[in-house]
Amino acid sequence: MPSQIPIQEGLFTWPSEEPRLLGSRCCGCGEVSFPVQKSCPACTGDETEAIPLAREGTLWTWTIQRFPPPAPPFIGDRESFEPFGVGYVELAEGVRVESRLTVNDPAQLEIGMKMELVVEPFDRDADGNERMLFAFRPAAAA
Amino acid sequence: MDVAIIGIGLHPFGRHEGVSAMEMGVVAANRALADAGIRWADVQHACAGSLEVLQPDTMNKFMGLTGIPFTNLFNGCATGGNLMLSAANAILAGAGDVAIAIGMDKHPRGAFSVGDDLAGLGLGQWYGEAGMAVNPQFFSMKTMRYMHDHGISEDCLHRVAMKAFENGARNPDAWRRKALSYEEIAESPLVCDPLRKYHFCSPSEGAAAMVLCRADQAARYTTNPIYIRADVFRTRLYGSFEVMHPSVPANARPSPSVQASQAAYEAAGIGPEDLDVAQVQDTEVGHEIMHMAECGFCKDGEQEAWVKAGETKIGGRLPINTDGGLLANGEPVGASGLRQIHEVCLQLRGEAGDRQVPGKPRVGFTHVYGFPGVSCATVLSR
């Protein structure tokens, strides 16, 4: 029976009410990177552990992708293409994660604003499963 | 021992229907050989690079099958700089007295594609599927943050583009030879905010080649050798903000362009204040602006005043991208770095025609930058 599956296993916790991105923390130097990798890009160490990353962060930079990216690898047809936001969101673990943004209106985006993680439907695979992708959206006002 | 450039050759960049990348490479190589006054049979070591040509060394059969070592290499947009470095290193290692570096490419129209399999770039397929493996996104996001941190205005972006197309209009070999008005640039459509259509270069076609020899033998071939005072290749340090990286640490480190240019000045025994002409990677105007600081020409934020005062124009304090740069020539990836070196050689020889930098320039600089965080910097002098 078709279900919701992550666009790639191991990118984020799923299924989950409050999904978290999964990064790796170096067991030697403590540096955190995303997505999970077995070795450490900072200290060359070969032992890391997977950790869930903060769900909220601040927008470090952003842009709007206004033209359809070359496909493949991009999934999406040129005719129905809608510009989308992309940014780097700085998390408490000391890492800036690149992500699609849920908004594509420059007026709603500002460096330094609070963002929060969401997981949304992206496309369907051949079996009819809904493939899920992470994104960041402007955090709800406190 | 030093190495000298004794011959330069260019197949003009642009669109050349019906001409293959390799055919352009052969044209550039033969022009460089003719400029040096030698034949292919005199070349003892060759290096060639290309994104689109599977094995550039197959051009050997069009040049002559002389049995010489012929190295293929590819390092993204930094390929050209690394080609000359490898050819020079072969001479320094004693592998021969005369070597040639040849770069060539021919790209389809539109934005560069990373292809259909991202594993070959060390990335997950999801990253491309989601539309994030796109170069202009990174260029725009780095520019967006830099403008925020260092007070660079949109006006500055437009002026850098105007200068590029002005220079292109003065260069008979340029692809884009029409100067654009401030309004045409400022009102061109946004591609990736804050950058617009005329802020970007486009993939193009072309080739360039350099013939090098031991500096102590240069006088045999030419009366106007250009000496390689430094040629440095660097890859990214952990912490540098780089193109197509799903994450970067918050503790920033200097870019490979900073590392390569500083090491080049040190090796040459000069500082950026000693330069008379410079070519830097201007994939788009944001990176020309940021590379001005990364290469040490000015401090972060000073670009605003430099550009407004015309200091980077021909006749200014430090003319930058005098042949129109990537904006006016496009980017055939394998050849682009050698085009920069070709232009600096013309300027130092005093052969740059309508775009000649006044005052008999003596010292020039070139800089390339590309995926996945690679840079080459050279210092050249008469």
> What is the mean pLDDT of the segment spanning A102-125?
97
What pLDDT score was predicted for residue A77? 76
- Cβ–Cβ contact B121 with A under 8 A: no
How large is the average pLDDT for residues B254-283? 98
For a pLDDT cut of 70, what percent of chain B falls above it? 100
| Mean pLDDT within B24-53 | 98
Is B227 inside a domain boundary? Answer: yes
pLDDT category at A78 given cuts 50, 70, 90 is confident
Amino acid (one-letter) located at B158: H
Give me the percent of chain A exceeding a pLDDT of 70: 98
Q: DSSP letters along B129-173, please?
A: HTT---HHHHHHHHHHHHHHHHT--HHHHHHHHHHHHHHHHT-TT
Residue appearing with tokens 């790209």: B107
pLDDT of A28 > 80? The answer is: yes
Q: Which residues of chain A lie closer than 8 angstroms to B130, CB-CB?
A: 7, 74-75, 100, 122, 133
Smallest CA–CA distance, residue B211 to chain A, in Å, is 37
Contact assignment for A96 to B250 by CB distance below 8 Å: yes
Q: Omega before A73 cis (within 30°)? A: yes
- B42's CB contacts (< 8 A; 6+ apart) are B33, B98
Domain count, chain B: 1
Q: Which band of pLDDT confidence, cut at 50, 70 and 90, is reported for residue B334?
A: very high
Query: A80 to chain B, minimum CA–CA distance in Å?
Result: 14
The reply to whether B239 touches chain A by the CB within 8 Å rule is yes
Percentage of chain B beyond pLDDT 90 is 97
CA distance B13 to B25: 11
- Share the mean pLDDT of chain B: 97
pLDDT band at A79 (very low <50, low <70, confident <90, very high): confident
pLDDT over 60 (residue A59): yes
User: Which chain B residue has the Cα nearest residue A90?
Assistant: B250
As a whole number, mean pLDDT of residues A62-73 equals 95
| CB-count burial class (<10 Å; 0-12, 13-18, 19+) for B282 | buried
Q: How far is CA B82 from the centre of its chain?
A: 10
Residue labelled with tokens 């362009």? B257
Of chain B, the end-to-end C-alpha distance in Å amounts to: 16
Confidence of residue B115 (pLDDT cuts 50, 70, 90): confident
Q: Is residue B347 part of a domain?
A: yes
pLDDT over threshold 60, residue A142: no
For B194-213, what is each residue's pLDDT tens digit?
A: 999 999 999 999 999 999 99
Residue A141 predicted with pLDDT over 70:
no
| Residues spanned by the domain of B298 | 3-108+200-381
Q: What is the mean pLDDT of residues B80-107?
A: 97
pLDDT, mean of residues B148-172: 98
pLDDT of residue A2: 75
Q: Give mean pLDDT, residues A61-87.
A: 93
> A42: which chain B residues are within 8 Å (Cβ-Cβ)?
238-239, 249
Task: Report the gap between the CA of A136 and the closest CA in chain B (Å).
Answer: 14
Type of residue found at B295: C
Residue A35 has a CB neighbour count (10 Å cut-off) of 20
Of A73, A90, A100, the CB nearest to B128: A73
Question: Which sequence spans correspond to the domains of chain A?
Answer: 4-138
Would you place residue B116 in the very low, low, confident or very high pLDDT band (cuts 50, 70, 90)?
Answer: confident
Give per-residue burial for B190-226: e unless 16+ CB within 10 Å, then b: bbbbbbbebbbbbbbbbbbbbbbbbbeebeebbeebb
Report if residue B154 sits inside a domain. no
Which of A45, A30, A41, A36 is CA-nearest to residue A9?
Answer: A36
CATH number for B262:
3.40.47.10
Question: Domain for residue B86, yes or no?
Answer: yes
* Strands A32-33 and A22-26, sheet pairing: antiparallel
Query: In terms of C-beta density within 10 A (0-12 exposed, 13-18 middle, 19 or more buried), how is residue B92 classed?
Result: middle
* B115 touches A at CB < 8 Å: yes
pLDDT recorded at residue B111: 82
